[in-house]
Amino acid sequence: MTRGAILLLLLLAFGALRLPIESALAQQHRSAHFHEAELGLGLREQIGQLGFLAALSGFRSLVADVVFIRAHVAWERTQWGRVLLLFREATTLQPRSILFWDMAAWHMAWNASVAALHDPAQPNDLLRRKAQREYVALGKDFLERGIKNNPDRPKLYESLARLYKEKLNNHAAAARCYAKAAALPGAPEYDKRFAAYELSSAPGQEREAHKALRSLYDRGEHERLPTLLTRLKFLEHELNIPLDQRIAEPAK
């Protein structure tokens, strides 16, 4: 048998042995929802040489923690561009870290957006507001990509709901996010209430909101919190619900 034939047989044997291992690893990554951490040139450009070598050598978690600390230092110095780049690096290295995605979104949509709106170096109000919207959009993008990598965890859905409510004034979208969080295993009980509360503030959703709030009310005294009672009474008035179908007036 020639040397070439022997080498060919060895390569085929190596490939046959490697295939089931690679398939198992790929399945594990899919199960863990690692959508954003492919080891390619895109990752190399995004996280730099050190981070890329760490990803290749198995120190992804350690380097991600160091990058997270560097992002915190950049935040203290209000270096918003650097904060953005470092959190992109950290979330790419550790896409299953809820904390990284949540903190990245908070810094962009809340801290950086407010700083941009009140930037004394920018006298043009229109440009300040444009920068504010861009930072909010960056925060939203972090949360959406975080959810893509962690669709089984309620925390990021809750954070996205707050962003829709507080930054985008979109109560219908906030209600949908809280509802998605509430449907996940281990979700806090308040997610269902918050979904109904947000729906009750969404124009055109009054009847659906009334149904959701009344369903919570009918579950018992533990659900009859002041906010729920206030919103439910308001909707009963707005929808002209018959008196005999309304809830009792709250005790004074």
Q: What is the pLDDT along the chain (252 residues), one digit of tens a residue?
A: 566 566 556 545 544 554 454 455 445 444 444 444 444 445 555 555 555 555 555 667 888 888 899 999 999 999 999 999 999 989 988 999 999 999 999 999 999 999 999 999 999 999 999 999 999 999 999 999 999 999 999 999 999 999 999 999 999 999 999 999 999 999 999 999 999 999 999 999 999 999 999 999 999 999 999 999 999 999 999 999 999 999 987 665
Residue 7 tokens read as 């080498």
Three-class DSSP category at 202: coil
Contact status, residue 106 vs residue 139, Cβ threshold 8 Å: yes
Distance separating alpha carbons of residues 190 and 173, to the nearest angstrom: 17
Distance separating alpha carbons of residues 179 and 92, to the nearest angstrom: 27
pTM equals 0.78
Distance separating alpha carbons of residues 135 and 113, to the nearest angstrom: 5
- Identify the residue whose tokens are 């929802």: 33
From first CA to last CA, the distance across the chain in angstroms is: 97
Distance separating alpha carbons of residues 67 and 233, to the nearest angstrom: 50
Residue 27 tokens read as 């399945």
Question: Please, what are the domains in the chain?
Answer: 152-252 (1.25.40)
Q: Is the dihedral of CA 238, 243, 248, 250 positive or negative?
A: positive
> How far out from the chain centre does Cα 13 lie?
44
